[in-house]
Amino acid sequence: MDIEKYYDKIYRYCYYKVNSKPLAEDITQETFLRYIDSLQEAREPERYLYTIARNLCIDEYRKKKETELLDEGMIDGSDFENKALEKIRLEEAMKKLSDDESEIVQLRLLNEESYSEICKIMGISRFAAHRKLESAKKKLKRYLEKGEIV
């Protein structure tokens, strides 16, 4: 398996889930260690890696229910407050989505996965993936435009 091919995607996925660079790095590394330790050659390594990463992120969330809202990389000057508020609003809007909607937004918009990959990862049809993504985007837009968040 070519680790470099998947590392950035898994890292971005974990980072979005845990909102901490060091923690995302740790979880990403643990994901690959568990994959390698499983001693099996997965037919769909990306799907297997996402499953491991998702489970590790859930475990971390359960350990620490309060996640940090800001990471050390955001402190870069005068627009700190605007970035912080924007990030908080987006995080709060994402929390209002169902788990599947949140997952598909992360996979498609943040990790730029294709619909076919999303279907494999989530175990749904292409139609269902498209429908869920469109629904999630409409909800996010509504939450953010109407100011229902923060």
Question: What Rg do the C-alpha atoms of the chain give, in angstroms?
Answer: 16
pLDDT at 150: 44
pLDDT at 28: 93
Q: Assess contact for 14 and 24: CB atoms under 8 A.
A: yes
Closest residue by Cα to residue 51 from 127, 113, 103: 103
Per-residue pLDDT of the chain (150 residues; tens, 9 = 90+): 677 888 999 999 999 888 889 999 999 999 998 888 876 666 788 888 999 999 998 888 777 654 344 444 444 554 566 676 777 787 888 888 888 888 888 888 878 888 888 888 888 898 988 899 999 889 888 888 876 544
- Using DSSP's 3-state secondary structure scheme, residue 149 falls into coil
The two three-digit tokens of residue 26, written as one number: 């740790």
Domain boundaries, the chain: 1-68, 74-150
- Architecture per CATH, 74-150: Orthogonal Bundle (1.10)
SS (H, E, C) 27-66: HHHHHHHHHHHCCCCCCCHHHHHHHHHHHHHHHHHHHCCC
pLDDT at 45: 83
This prediction's pTM: 0.52
pLDDT at 1: 64
pLDDT at 40: 66
